[in-house]
Structure 1
Amino acid sequence: MALEWDAVSYEALADPMTRWGAAFLERLELRGDECVLDAGCGTGRVTELLLERLPGGRVLAVDASEAMVRAARERFAGEGRVRVERRDLLELEVGEPVDVVFSTATFHWIPDHARLFRRLAAALRPGGLLAAQCGGEGNILRVREATERVMRGERFRGFFEGWEENKEYAGVEVTKARLEAAGFERVRCWLHEEPTRFDSVGKLAGYLRTIILRGHVEALPEEERDPFAVAVAREMAAMDGPLLADYVRLNMLARKPERETATTGVSVQEG
């Protein structure tokens, strides 16, 4: 079952993801008339930036969350160049292949990357580009350490018996191998850090509940969700160093092989 989201709260807190998406988008040199699949569009904040780069193009924006899709449809109401659909990326099919698959802050929520990459390759035209960024190896280690301590505590341990986190923070080499196995070529992957600081335990707790610990809070009754997020934030505040989420981003650029005459005309600044 796809994880549902509080789209209103996410929209208010998604500045870090929007900033990373904007920076990653700057790497792409687009003609401006491409058809782009935004894989995991959320509320559409980064989709909006993508659309600015496509004055003659169009976007198919998809997300597995009903609330996110509803919010994105409201954002793009009346915009004929954007179609928003609720889709599971592991079951993705498109009526017409796209020139580019673009994604930020999504793939780590999908544990089966091998299958995911096969579905994305199938959605691309020959010569098409995959440009994606998500949480990678070493992502939020401080957050995870604090979370595990709180989960083992007397108040919360009963809610997490048998619970497993359903995320994939993959490394560079395994991701490169998975992309090549899915049929991609000219694959480039790299990691970079994006430490994100918070001014207070309260602000961090709200962010944790809505975004980082979204899967955890789903395992809790409503009355325990805020206390759990606050407990994790306090545990992090007690650690050495600043109050921050130690994000590590995994970047992916890859091409689907050319077939005869097909080409997208999209170039990319790698590095």
Structure 2
Amino acid sequence: MSSPTWDPALYTAFGDHRSRPFYDLTGRIAAEAPRRVVDLGCGPGELTATLAERWPGALVEGLDSSEEMLDAARSRFAGRDRLSFRHGDILHWEPEDDVDVVVSNAALQWVPGHQGLMGRWLEQLAPGAWLAVQVPGNFSAPSHALMRELAESSQWDHRLRGVLRHTDPVSEPRAYLELLLDAGWDADVWETTYCQVLTGEDAVLTWVRGTGLRPVLDALSPAEAAQFEEQYNQLLYDAYPSAERDGVLTTVYPFRRIFCVGRKPERA
């Protein structure tokens, strides 16, 4: 499966909802004065920049495979001292000797076999280093299950076969915990379901359009994509009913996320 294309403006349209898990994740990192901090899958860079503010003495680097996202990040943060962004594939990234903190927020679900990558990083990172990862755990939620069912229908299967991954892009929390513990790391793993309140018409479709729907939209022509979205949106209306509250159309969208933070013990 090729990497999806990204729209930085659409991705950041739900900034508060997308940033909260990042802060919940990085709040568990207790590093005091890291030398180098790397954000794998940095997107448009706003959250990466907060790492530079938190650790002003560190070299902070964002890595992403989307040139659109990197263009947005470089434009916004041009000239920021000790903060940089570069193009790269997480699959081929390896930590340098001075990397003390690695963060990956809502990115590894796009990397098949990322658990093996994490295992390699656990070996390669220096004693005292931190690894903090957050991935969505909602692939069995109606928003994703309905998308897969529609893509597999007789109308769309010939165009979308193999485009969407199924229910195994991420592991369950226990598997990540055991991965860290088996490597000898101190580990903190948990999950949270955020009951997000989205506003406006077609709120769930707009949310998913910025992330999980990207591979489908990339695989179809504009006319086909519009038809798929119309059919998918009708399914979402039934799964996520909306209600008007104080004159505002609102939709509750539960979103489960999985977090793991680990620290490699110092050498004895």
Aligned match of 1:205:
205
Residue pair 2:25, 2:261 contacting (<8 A) in 1 also? no
CA distance in 2, matches of 1:152, 1:117: 31
Per mean C-alpha deviation after superposition, the further-off stretch among 145-154 and 81-90 is 145-154
Aligned match of 2:246:
none
CA distance in 2, matches of 1:99, 1:77: 24
Deviation for aligned residue 1:164: 4.0
Q: How does 1:199-238 map to 2 (within 5 A)?
A: 199-238=199-238
Per mean C-alpha deviation after superposition, the further-off stretch among 20-29 and 161-170 is 161-170
Q: Which residue type is aligned with residue 71 of structure 1?
A: A
Residue pair 1:201, 1:237 contacting (<8 A) in 2 also? no
Q: Which residue type is aligned with residue 220 of structure 2?
A: L
- Where does structure 1 lack aligned partners over 5 or more consecutive residues? 261-271
CA distance in 2, matches of 1:225, 1:184: 47
Instruction: Compute the RMSD of aligned alpha carbons.
Output: 2.5
Give 1:250's match in structure 2, choosing from 232, 255, 258. 258
Q: How does 1:108-187 map to 2 (within 5 A)?
A: 108-121=109-122, 124-136=125-137, 138-139=138-139, 141-153=141-153, 155-165=155-165, 168-180=169-181, 183-187=183-187
Q: Which residue type is aligned with residue 125 of structure 2?
A: L
DSSP-derived class of the 1:37 partner: strand
Aligned match of 2:248:
none
Residues 186 and 94 of structure 1: is their aligned pair in 2 closer, same or farther, counting only changes over 3 Å?
closer
- Where does structure 2 lack aligned partners over 5 or more consecutive residues? 243-250
CA distance in 2, matches of 1:244, 1:212: 18
Deviation for aligned residue 1:119: 4.3
Deviation for aligned residue 1:32: 4.6
Q: Which residue type is aligned with residue 49 of structure 1?
A: T
Deviation for aligned residue 1:213: 1.2
Q: Does 1:196 align with 2:196?
A: yes
Deviation for aligned residue 1:39: 1.3
Per mean C-alpha deviation after superposition, the further-off stretch among 125-134 and 115-124 is 115-124
Deviation for aligned residue 1:103: 1.9
Residue pair 1:113, 1:178 contacting (<8 A) in 2 also? no
Aligned match of 2:100:
99
CA distance in 2, matches of 1:38, 1:240: 33
Residue pair 1:140, 1:246 contacting (<8 A) in 2 also? no
Q: How does 1:76-95 map to 2 (within 5 A)?
A: 76-95=77-96
CA distance in 2, matches of 1:8, 1:45: 12
Percent of counterpart pairs with the same letter? 27
Alpha-carbon deviations, 1:129-163, whole Å to 9, x = none? Answer: 11121113x44611123213432445433322344
Residue pair 2:40, 2:63 contacting (<8 A) in 1 also? yes
Per mean C-alpha deviation after superposition, the further-off stretch among 76-85 and 120-129 is 120-129
Residues 232 and 23 of structure 1: is their aligned pair in 2 closer, same or farther, counting only changes over 3 Å?
same
Q: Which residue type is aligned with residue 267 of structure 2?
A: R
DSSP-derived class of the 1:188 partner: strand
Residue pair 2:119, 2:179 contacting (<8 A) in 1 also? no
Deviation for aligned residue 1:169: 2.6
Residues 108 and 53 of structure 1: is their aligned pair in 2 closer, same or farther, counting only changes over 3 Å?
same
Aligned match of 1:21:
22
Deviation for aligned residue 1:77: 0.6
Aligned match of 2:267:
259
Deviation for aligned residue 1:248: 1.0
> What is the number of equivalent residue pairs in this alignment?
258
Could you tell me the TM-score, scaled by structure 1's length? 0.83
Aligned match of 2:247:
none
Residue pair 1:139, 1:248 contacting (<8 A) in 2 also? no
Alpha-carbon deviations, 1:85-114, whole Å to 9, x = none? Answer: 112112113444311111211121212123
Aligned match of 1:48:
49
